C-alpha cells in the first residue's frame, strides 16, 4: 500500500482581506481583497513599494493595526481558525506563541532602558512558559543560538551598547523563543548594512529550516525577496498584482507592474556600460583632489584618539561620478564633511576646483560653498517644513547673488521645471509632496547656485525602487547637460555600479581599494570588496538570467 503524502494544511490562510483606515470622518481603504496562504515551513514574501499595503496586511495578521485601522471584511485563518476579529485578550494568547514579529528598525525596537536579557526573558514570563529559575539559562542559550558572542555579557547590556546587527539578532531571538509556527519579518534588514543584511537573512533561513517555521517576509526589495522566498505576492496600492512561485514570477512576470519593478531594481539590471572616464594621465582636470586625508577624534572615554579617516586619497575628474562606498563606521560621512568644509581634517589636503578647502575661513569659506552642494539622504528632514518649494529653492540665491527679484524667480522656476516638478507644486510645502518630489526639490536647491560638484549623500537610499530609478535617470541627465561632477556616497553597491565611473571602497577609515567601477566589480582585489559584492541581494535572479 502506498501512502500518498497528504499536503499539510496551511499555517495561514488570508482570504478576501479588506482593511480601512479612519481618517477624520471618512474611511480610506488601504488593502483590497487580498488573499494568499502560507504552508508550513514556507517563506512567502509580500513585495511592494510604500503605500502598497504590505505592512498593513502584515500588521493585521498579528493584530497590531494602528488604532484607526480596522479589518472591514475577509478572514485571517491561523491553523484553520479565523482570528481576524479576535479581541486583544484572545490575540495575546497567540502573539509570541504562534505568530511572532521581527520588526523593521532594530534601533528603536528594543526598550532603551531595559537590559537585553530581561527583554528576551519577558516573553517567557508573559506566557508563564518557564519557571523563573529556568529563564536565565534559556535566554543565554537563545543569545548563543542567534550568533552573539559572550551571551552572559550581552544579557546584562542595554540596547544602546549593541550594534544594529546585534540588536536585530536579539529581536530574532525574541521571535523564535517560543518556537512559533509563523514569523512575520517586516523589512527586517532595510536599516542594516549589506553584509550585515546578508548574515541576518542567512540566520532567519537557518532557524526556519531548524524549527520548520513559516516566514512571511515583508520587503520593498525584490532582490531580497527573490533570494529568500519560495513564493512572492506582489502588491500595489493595496491590491495583489500577481502571486506565484518566486522562480516563475522572476522568469516571466505577468503583470506590467512587476515587470516595471524588475526593470527598476538596480540589483537586477545588467551593469551599464559606461565609457571609461577614469582619471587619465596627461590632461589633468581633476575637480576633486583628496590627498592623505586624516581625521582623528578624541575618544569618548578620553583615552587615545579615534581615527575616523586614515590616509585617504582619491581624485575625481570633472564631469564624472565618483562613489564612496562603505558600511556604517567606515568614515564616508567624515570624509564628505571635510570635503564640503563642515569639518577640518587633522592632516592631508583637499582641493575642490583648485581651491584648498582646509585653509578657508569666514567669507572665503562661505563663497566656496557655491562650488559644492549637498543632497542629503532624508528628503523629509532636510527641507524646512514651514517653507514652500519656491522659498526653499530661492533661499540659496538670497544668500549669494544680487539678482533682481524677477530674475531670481525666473531662475528658480527654470531649475524646478528642469528637475521635473510640476508648476502647481511650487507653492506647496514639503509635507504635501511625495518622497521622490521632495528629493527633486533638494536637487533643485543644490543646483540653483550652479555648483561644480554635487555631493549626493545616500540621496536615493530612502526612495522606492521605481522612484529611485527616475531620480537616477534625472541625475544622469543633469550631469551630461550641465557637466556636473558627483560625489556619490552610498552603501548600495547595485546603485553604485549603475551610476558611477570611479569608486573608493572604505573600511574602518581606510581605503580598501579604488579605481574604475567596472574593473573593480569584475575583478575585486580585496576580500572585503568581494564580500560586499556577494552581499548584494538578487544573486539568484542574476545567476538565472
Partner 1 sequence: MSAYLLNRAAQALFVLWAAFTISFVLLQAMPGDAVLIKFQNPDLGLTAAQVAEIRSSYAVDSPVVVQYLRTIGNFLTGNFGYSVQAGVPVGSLLAAHLPATLMLATLGFLLASVLAVIIAFLSSLTPLAWLRGALQSIPSLFISIPTFWLGIMLIQIFSFRLKLVPVINPGPWQELILPVLTLAVPISAPLAQVLVRNIDDAMTRPFVAVARAKGASRFWVLSRHVAKNALLPTLTIAGVLLGELIAGAVVTETVFGLNGIGGLTERAVGSQDAAVLQAIVVLSALGFVIINLAVDLLYPVLDPRLRTKAGAAA
Which positions touch partner 1 (CB under 8 A)? 62, 64, 88-89, 92-97, 99-101, 103-105, 108-114, 122-123, 126-127, 158, 160-161, 171, 174, 300-302
Q: Which is nearer to partner 1, 300 or 363 (CB)?
A: 300
Minimum CB distance to partner 1, residue 509 (Å): 21
Instruction: Sort 272 into a burial class: Cβ within 10 Å, 0-12 / 13-18 / 19+.
Output: exposed
Q: Which is nearer to partner 1, 71 or 533 (CB)?
A: 71
Minimum CB distance to partner 1, residue 184 (Å): 8
Q: Which is nearer to partner 1, 111 or 132 (CB)?
A: 111
Q: Which is nearer to partner 1, 49 or 187 (CB)?
A: 187
The DSSP bridge partners found for residue 236 are: 239
User: What's the CA gap between 145 and 103, in Å, rounded?
Assistant: 19
Written as nine digits, the cell of 409 is 524667480
Phi then psi for residue 154, to 5 deg, are: -60, -40
Look at residue 175 and give its three-state secondary structure: helix
User: What's the CA gap between 104 and 251, in Å, rounded?
Assistant: 29
Nearest to 290 by CA among 357, 351, 354: 351
Q: Which is nearer to partner 1, 22 or 29 (CB)?
A: 22
- Give the list of residues 6+ apart from residue 109 with CB closer than 8 angstroms, or none: 103, 167, 171
Q: Do 131 and 189 form a contact (C-beta atoms < 8 A)?
A: no
Minimum CB distance to partner 1, residue 480 (Å): 42
Minimum CB distance to partner 1, residue 27 (Å): 16
Q: Which is nearer to partner 1, 95 or 332 (CB)?
A: 95
Minimum CB distance to partner 1, residue 62 (Å): 6
Q: Which is nearer to partner 1, 63 or 524 (CB)?
A: 63
Minimum CB distance to partner 1, residue 64 (Å): 6
Minimum CB distance to partner 1, residue 103 (Å): 6
Minimum CB distance to partner 1, residue 85 (Å): 15
For residue 99, give the DSSP letter: E
User: What's the CA gap between 56 and 235, in Å, rounded?
Assistant: 11
For the four alpha carbons of 437, 438, 443 and 449, in that order, the dihedral sign comes to positive
Which long-range CB contacts under 8 A does 424-432 form with residues at least 24 apart? 425/389, 426/388, 426/389, 426/390, 427/388, 427/389, 427/390, 428/388, 428/389, 429/385, 429/386, 429/387, 429/388, 429/389, 430/379, 430/380, 430/383, 430/384, 430/385, 430/387, 430/389, 430/392, 431/385
Minimum CB distance to partner 1, residue 20 (Å): 18
Query: In the chain, what is the greatest distance between 2 CA atoms, to the nearest angstrom?
Result: 93
- Give the list of residues 6+ apart from residue 26 with CB closer than 8 angstroms, or none: none
How distant is the alpha carbon of residue 250 from its chain centre? 22
Q: Which is nearer to partner 1, 103 or 117 (CB)?
A: 103
- Give the list of residues 6+ apart from residue 411 with CB closer than 8 angstroms, or none: 397, 403, 448
Minimum CB distance to partner 1, residue 109 (Å): 4
Q: Which residue has the cell 478576501?
A: 16
Q: Which is nearer to partner 1, 92 or 353 (CB)?
A: 92
Minimum CB distance to partner 1, residue 300 (Å): 4
A 10 A CB-CB count for 89 gives 7
Q: Which is nearer to partner 1, 64 or 482 (CB)?
A: 64
Q: Which is nearer to partner 1, 138 or 349 (CB)?
A: 138
Look at residue 231 and give its three-state secondary structure: strand
Q: Do 197 and 538 form a contact (C-beta atoms < 8 A)?
A: no
Amino acid at each position: 500500500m502506498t501512502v500518498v503524502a497528504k499536503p499539510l494544511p496551511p499555517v495561514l490562510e488570508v482570504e478576501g482581506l479588506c482593511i480601512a483606515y479612519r481618517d477624520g470622518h471618512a474611511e480610506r481603504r488601504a488593502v483590497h481583497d487580498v488573499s494568499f496562504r502560507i504552508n508550513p515551513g514556507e517563506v512567502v514574501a509580500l513585495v511592494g513599494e510604500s503605500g502598497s499595503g504590505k505592512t498593513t496586511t502584515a500588521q493585521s495578521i498579528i493584530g497590531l493595526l494602528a488604532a484607526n485601522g480596522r479589518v472591514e471584511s475577509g478572514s485571517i485563518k491561523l491553523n484553520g481558525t479565523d482570528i481576524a476579529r479576535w479581541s486583544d485578550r484572545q490575540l495575546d494568547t497567540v502573539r509570541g506563541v504562534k505568530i511572532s514579529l521581527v520588526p523593521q528598525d532594530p534601533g528603536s525596537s528594543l526598550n532603551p532602558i531595559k537590559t537585553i536579557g530581561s527583554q528576551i526573558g519577558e516573553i517567557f514570563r508573559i506566557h508563564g512558559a518557564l519557571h523563573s529559575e529556568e529563564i536565565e539559562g534559556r535566554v543565554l542559550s537563545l543569545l548563543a543560538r542567534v550568533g552573539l558572542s559572550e551571551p552572559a555579557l550581552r544579557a546584562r547590556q542595554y540596547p544602546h551598547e549593541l550594534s544594529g546587527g546585534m540588536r536585530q539578532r536579539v529581536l530574532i531571538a525574541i521571535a523564535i523563543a517560543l518556537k512559533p509556527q509563523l514569523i512575520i519579518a517586516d523589512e527586517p534588514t532595510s536599516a542594516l548594512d549589506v553584509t550585515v543584511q546578508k548574515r541576518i537573512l542567512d540566520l532567519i533561513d537557518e532557524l526556519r529550516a531548524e524549527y520548520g517555521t513559516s516566514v512571511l517576509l515583508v520587503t520593498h526589495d525584490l532582490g531580497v525577496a527573490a533570494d529568500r522566498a519560495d513564493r512572492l505576492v506582489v502588491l500595489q496600492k493595496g491590491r495583489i498584482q500577481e502571486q506565484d512561485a518566486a522562480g516563475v514570477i522572476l522568469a516571466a512576470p505577468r503583470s506590467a507592474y512587476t515587470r516595471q519593478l524588475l526593470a527598476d531594481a538596480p540589483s537586477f539590471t545588467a551593469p551599464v556600460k559606461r565609457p571609461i572616464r577614469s582619471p587619465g594621465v596627461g590632461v589633468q582636470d581633476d575637480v576633486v583632489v583628496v590627498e592623505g586625508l586624516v581625521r582623528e577624534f578624541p575618544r569618548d572615554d578620553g583615552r587615545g584618539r579615534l581615527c575616523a579617516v586614515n590616509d585617504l586619497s582619491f581624485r575625481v575628474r570633472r564631469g564624472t561620478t565618483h562613489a564612496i562606498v562603505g558600511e556604517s563606521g567606515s568614515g564616508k560621512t567624515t570624509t564628505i564633511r571635510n570635503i564640503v568644509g563642515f569639518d577640518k581634517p587633522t592632516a592631508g589636503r583637499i582641493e575642490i576646483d583648485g581651491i584648498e578647502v582646509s585653509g578657508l575661513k569666514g567669507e572665503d569659506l562661505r563663497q566656496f560653498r557655491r562650488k559644492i552642494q549637498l543632497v542629503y539622504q532624508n528628503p523629509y528632514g532636510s527641507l524646512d517644513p514651514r517653507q514652500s518649494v519656491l522659498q526653499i529653492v530661492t533661499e540659496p540665491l538670497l544668500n549669494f547673488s544680487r539678482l533682481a527679484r524677477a530674475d531670481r524667480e525666473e531662475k528658480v522656476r527654470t531649475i524646478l521645471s528642469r528637475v521635473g516638478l510640476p508648476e502647481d507644486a511650487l507653492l506647496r510645502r514639503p509635507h504635501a509632496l511625495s518622497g521622490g518630489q521632495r528629493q527633486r526639490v533638494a536637487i533643485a536647491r543644490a543646483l540653483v547656485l550652479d555648483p561644480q560638484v554635487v555631493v549626493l549623500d545616500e540621496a536615493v537610499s530612502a526612495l522606492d525602487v521605481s522612484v529611485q530609478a527616475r531620480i537616477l535617470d534625472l541625475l544622469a541627465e543633469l550631469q551630461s547637460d550641465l557637466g556636473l561632477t558627483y560625489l556619490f556616497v552610498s552603501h548600495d553597491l547595485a546603485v553604485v555600479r549603475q551610476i558611477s565611473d570611479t569608486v573608493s571602497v572604505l573600511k574602518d577609515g581606510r581605503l580598501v581599494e579604488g579605481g574604475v567601477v567596472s574593473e573593480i566589480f569584475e575583478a575585486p582585489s580585496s576580500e572585503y570588496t568581494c564580500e560586499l559584492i556577494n552581499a548584494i541581494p538578487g544573486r539568484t535572479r542574476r545567476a538565472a538570467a
